[in-house]
Amino acid sequence: MLLMAGTIPVRDLPFVLGPIELVEENVMVGGQCLDMNRGTASMISAACAICQEYGLKSAVGIVAGDIGASDGSAKIYDYLAGNLPQMDVQILTTHYIMPDIKRNKKVLEKIDSLEKRPVLIADAGGMYVAKAGGDAGRYDLFTPDLGELAFLADEKAVHPTYTRGFISHMEDDVPELISRAFKSKNVARTVFVKGKVDYICQDGKILETIDHPNIEALEAVGGTGDIITGIISGLIYAGKSHVDACRIAGMVNRTAGKLSRPTPATQVKEIIRCIPAALREVKDRLCRK
């Protein structure tokens, strides 16, 4: 099972666990209709699009309403800590969630007790809490943007907002930030750095960069990073290696962006709609090589 966990910005939305399906402009989780235009819903929509293209069994979503009060986040952590052994999870992706170091450690303890450890992917709050708790090394894949990479590279920061100025100023030197983050052991084994140039790194080494097509407007569009995390999760579920998944996801995300003809005012659902066509275009490109 590909299990995707995160909060939804709807007050009083109940805790929901169930299969993810794309329905026109929206995404359904366990029969609950969610707007795919923001956060966790964008991420799971992208993963669902990939699963459909590969003819895979639906990914499963675990979501709860939370607008910052931690209520939905707590339900997700607690459910995972209590129920993971009964769920047969191959891949667990954690996303928008209130960083709660103690609760996350309980989830990780449960994962450590499993006979077969799932692949752990984290972005957004799921990645912040992993780093803040000193647990980044227990994860398989992180997908930071440049600001978040600076946070991972700052051994003292417990949240991106606390990243020290001298490290933030190093953002023009991405390889140095990557090196710092790996040396301080504040990253997962594989890291996909999202930016003007995407960096794919593993075990401290930069393996590849992706910089084409370069569409500047995408930097302003909320959710483009979220869909990369979803695409990577879907591709790993389809059997791709972590590095191959990152490579294809980087290309698909940029191609979907290009197909949507974006401006800085474009909404991410317009890009999500282009993912299937972008995946086919990228597959063709890779076959021709």
Where along the sequence are the contacts to another protein (CB under 8 A)? Answer: 7-9, 38-41, 66-70, 72-73, 95-102, 104, 123-129, 132-133, 145, 147-148, 151, 156-165, 168, 216-217, 219-225, 263-267
**Smallest distance, another protein to C-beta of residue 56, A:** 26
**Please, are residues 39 and 98 in contact by the beta-carbon 8 Å criterion?**
no
Closer residue to another protein, CB minimum distance, 71 or 208: 71
Least Å distance, CB 143 to another protein, is 11
Q: Which is nearer to another protein, 151 or 282 (CB)?
A: 151
- In this structure, are residues 272 and 42 in contact, taking their beta carbons and an 8 Å threshold? yes
Q: In the bound complex, what is the minimum distance in angstroms from residue 209's beta carbon to another protein?
A: 21
Q: How far is the CB of 144 from another protein (least distance, A)?
A: 9
- Closer to another protein by CB, 56 or 67: give it: 67
- Between 99 and 282, CB nearer to another protein: 99
Q: Residue 215 is which amino acid? A: I
C-alpha distance from residue 151 to each of 42, 95, 98, 225, 249 (Å): 23, 17, 17, 16, 23
Q: Rounded to the nearest whole angstrom, what is the least distance from the CB of residue 50 to another protein in the complex?
A: 21
Of 87, 77, 168, residue with least CA distance to 129: 77
- The residue (of 102 and 288) whose beta carbon lies closer to another protein is 102
Query: In whole angstroms, how close is the CB of 1 to another protein at the nearest point?
Result: 24
Of residues 142 and 237, the one with the C-beta less far from another protein:
142
Least Å distance, CB 286 to another protein, is 29
Smallest separation, CB 66 to another protein (Å)? 4
SS3 letters for the chain? CEEEEEEECCCCCCCEEEEEEEECCEEEECCEEEECCCHHHHHHHHHHHHHHHCCCCCCEEEEEECCCCCHHHHHHHHHHHHHHHHCCCCEEEECCCCCCHHHHHHHHHHHHCCCCCCEEEECHHHHHHHHHCCCHHHCCEECCEHHHHHHHHCCCCCCHHHCCHHHHHHHHCHHHHHHHHHHCCCCCCEEEEECCCEEEEECCEEEEEECCCCCHHHHHCCCHHHHHHHHHHHHHHCCCCHHHHHHHHHHHHHHHHHHCCCCCCCCHHHHHCCHHHHHHHHHHHHHHC
Looking at the Cβ atoms of 15 and 208, the one nearer to another protein is 15
